[in-house]
Structures are given as structure tokens and as C-alpha cells.
């Protein structure tokens, strides 16, 4: 098992196009396979890089025998994607100016040894923007 090579994929259950636009136009990722219509899109940080992130239409998970679509649309916050930042204030302000709604401004959490803030994508998935180098 290569846990240190984990990639993230978001299962889109509400609006595929809105998620595609969010990751492409606001976060700034480059679609390298797939498009706004789905059912799958791989994203990279630039056209020259390997994919690092993907979205997948959750309804297609039914193709996997044994998968059951969740009954509720309530987000359980059982997984948080962490995005390291070299300048959290700059990244926070850039994303906020592009319309990303944060839970709060960046805060230093002494007990965690880092400075961080949180936001959600259009599906409600929780992301942490952090700068552990400040501590």
C-alpha cells in the first residue's frame, strides 16, 4: 500500500458543473481529462503536471457492486482535504476575493502548531488551508 501517494476524488452528488467551475475557475486547477459535463474529470496544477485531484459523478458509483448511495445530503465532515500553503494570508485573500466562503479568517491554533482556515466546495466538502511552517 502506498498511502503517501494518496490522491483525492470528490463524489459529486448535487451539481457537477458547479463543482467543475469551482475547481477550475476559483481554485485554479487545470482539467486534464474530462469536462464540465462529467461524469469524471481529472485536474492538475498545470497542464504539464500529472493529475492530483478528480471529481466523479456520485451516481456512477452504483456501477461498483456493493456501493449504496447515501440517503441523506447532510455532510458528515468525516474527511478533510488539506491544502498546504506557502502564504496562507495571500491564498486566503485570493480565494475570498474569488467568492470562496470561509468558516473564518486564518487562525493560529497553538495546540496544533499551525495557522489554518477552512472552506467548503459547492458539494459541502470541507477543505483546510494551512501553513504549518509559521510555527
Please classify residue 117 by burial: count the beta carbons closer than 10 Å to its beta carbon, then call 0-12 exposed, 13-18 middle and 19+ buried: buried
- Quick one: 87 and 49 in the same domain? no
- Quick one: 10 and 56 in the same domain? yes
pLDDT in 10s for each residue of the chain, 135 residues: 877 788 889 999 899 999 999 999 999 999 999 999 999 999 999 999 999 999 999 888 888 888 887 777 777 778 899 999 999 999 999 999 999 999 999 999 999 889 999 999 999 899 999 996 765
Instruction: List C-alpha distances in Å: 91 to 74, 97, 105, 106.
Output: 28, 10, 11, 10
Say what the pLDDT of residue 67 is: 84
The cell 494570508 sits on which residue? Answer: 89
Say what the pLDDT of residue 3 is: 79
Is there a domain that residue 18 lies in?
A: yes
DSSP code string of 110-129: TTTTEEEEEEE-TT--EEEE
Domain limits for position 105: 80-134
The cell 497553538 sits on which residue? Answer: 110
Say what the pLDDT of residue 134 is: 60
CATH of the domain at 35: 3.10.180.10
Q: Domain count of the chain?
A: 2
Say what the pLDDT of residue 135 is: 52
| Torsion angles phi and psi, residue 96, rounded to 5 | -60, -40
Amino acid at each position: 500500500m502506498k498511502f503517501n501517494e494518496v490522491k483525492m476524488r470528490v463524489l459529486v452528488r448535487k451539481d457537477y458543473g458547479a463543482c467543475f467551475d469551482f475547481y477550475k475557475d476559483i481554485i485554479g486547477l487545470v482539467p486534464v481529462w474530462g469536462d464540465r459535463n462529467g461524469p469524471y474529470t481529472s485536474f492538475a496544477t498545470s497542464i504539464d503536471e500529472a493529475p492530483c485531484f478528480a471529481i466523479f459523478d456520485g451516481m456512477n458509483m452504483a456501477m461498483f457492486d456493493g456501493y449504496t448511495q447515501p440517503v441523506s445530503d447532510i455532510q458528515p465532515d468525516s474527511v478533510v482535504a488539506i491544502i498546504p500553503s506557502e502564504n496562507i494570508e495571500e491564498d486566503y485573500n485570493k480565494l475570498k476575493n474569488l467568492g470562496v466562503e470561509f468558516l473564518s479568517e486564518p487562525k493560529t491554533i497553538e495546540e496544533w502548531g499551525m495557522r489554518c482556515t477552512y472552506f467548503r466546495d459547492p458539494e459541502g466538502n470541507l477543505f483546510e488551508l494551512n501553513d504549518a511552517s509559521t510555527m
